[in-house]
Amino acid sequence: MISKIVTILLGAALGAVLIAIVAGLTVSLLVIGVLALTMLVRRDWVPVVYNVRSLMVRGWTTGVTAMGLALVVFVFATVLMLSRGIQKTLASTGATENAHIIRKGAQTEIQSGVQPEHLRLLSAAPETAIGKDGKPLAAGELAVLIFALKADATSGSDGANVLVRGVSEKSIELHPPTRVEGRMFKPGTSEIVIGKGLLGRFKGARLNESMQFARRKWQVVGVMDQGGSGFDSEIWGDLEQFEDAFQRRPSFSAITLRLRDKDAISALEARLQSDPMLNTLVVKREVDYWAAQSEQFATFVKFLGIFVAVIFSFAAILGAMITMYAQVAARTQEIGTLRVLGFRRRSVLVSFVIESVLLALASGGIGLACASGMQLVSFSTMNFQSLSEVSFQFTLTPAIFVASMMFAGLMGYAGGLLPALRASRMPITQATRGG
Partner 1 sequence: MRFLVLVVKSAFRNRLRTLLTSLGVAIALVAFLFLRTFIAAWYAGVDGAASDRLFARNKTSITFPLPLAYVDKIKNIPGVSGVGYEDWFGGYYKDPKNFFAKFAADDNVFDLFPEAIVDSAEMKAYKEDKQGAMVGKYLADKYGWKIGDRITLTGDIYPGDWELNIRAIYTSNAKTFDVQTMFFHWTMLNDRMVESRKNQVGLIAIRVNDPSKSTTVAAAVDELFANSPWETRTESEKAFQLSIISMSSALIGAIQIISGVVLLILMLILANTLAMTTRERTTEYAVMRAIGYRPNHIIAFVLGEGFVIAATGALLGVGLATPVLKFFSEIFQRQMAAFLGSFELDPKVIAVAVSFVLGGGMLSTALPAWRAGRLKIVDALRRVE
Instruction: Report the interface residues with partner 1, using CB under 8 A.
Output: 7-8, 10-11, 14, 60-61, 64-65, 67-68, 71-72, 75, 103-107, 110-111, 144-147, 150, 155-161, 213-215, 246-247, 280, 296, 300, 303-304, 307-308, 311-312, 314-316, 318-319, 321-323, 325-326, 379-382, 384, 387, 389
Question: Could you say which DSSP state residue 182 is in?
Answer: E
CB-wise, 115 or 346, nearer to partner 1? 115
CB of 180 to partner 1, least distance (A): 26
CB of 379 to partner 1, least distance (A): 6
Q: In degrees, to the nearest 5, what angle opens at C-alpha 194 toward C-alphas 193 and 195?
A: 130
Report the nearest approach of partner 1 to the CB of residue 34 (Å). Answer: 28
| 273 or 380: CB nearest partner 1 | 380
Neighbour count for residue 70 (Cβ, 10 Å): 23
Give me the count of residues in the chain. 435
Residue from 311, 412, 315, 320 nearest 65 by CA: 320
C-alpha distances (whole Å) from 251 to each of 94, 275, 291 are 22, 20, 25
Give the residue with the Cβ less far from partner 1, 38 or 107: 107
Closest-CA residue to 257 (of 95, 369, 368) = 95
What angle in degrees, to the nearest 10, is found between the helix axes of 345-373 and 2-42? Answer: 110
Backbone phi, then psi, for 71, in 5-degree steps? -60, -45
Q: What are phi and psi of 274, to 5 degrees?
A: -85, -30
* For partner 1, the closer CB: 161 or 219: 161
Interhelix angle 345-373/398-424, rounded to 10 degrees, is 150
Nearer CB in complex with partner 1: 14/30: 14
- CA distance from start to end of the chain: 52
- Alpha carbon 400 to chain centroid distance? 10
Shortest Å, Cβ 396 to partner 1? 18
Give 3-state DSSP helix, strand, coil % of the chain, rounded to 5: 55, 20, 25
Distance CA 71, CA 84 (A): 20
* Least distance CB 190 / partner 1 (angstroms): 15
Q: Which is nearer to partner 1, 68 or 416 (CB)?
A: 68
User: Least distance from C-beta 93 to partner 1, angstroms?
Assistant: 20
Assess contact for 204 and 198: CB atoms under 8 A: no
Q: State the minimum distance, in angstroms, from the CB of residue 140 to partner 1.
A: 17
Looking at 263-302, which runs of residues are DSSP E strands? 281-285
**Closest of 293, 268, 290 to residue 384, by C-alpha:** 293
Closer residue to partner 1, CB minimum distance, 358 or 387: 387
* Nearest distance, CB of residue 401 and partner 1, angstroms: 21
Least CB distance to partner 1 at residue 322 (A): 5
C-alpha 407/C-alpha 123 separation (Å) is: 52
Peptide bond into 136 cis (omega under 30): no
CB nearer to partner 1: pick between 62 and 123: 62
3-class SS of residue 387: coil
Identify which of residues 144 and 193 has a Cβ nearer to partner 1 in the complex: 144
Q: Least CB distance from residue 363 to partner 1, whole Å? A: 12
Q: How many CB atoms lie within 10 A of CB 23?
A: 10
Which is nearer to partner 1, 7 or 26 (by Cβ)? 7
**109 DSSP 8-state letter:** G
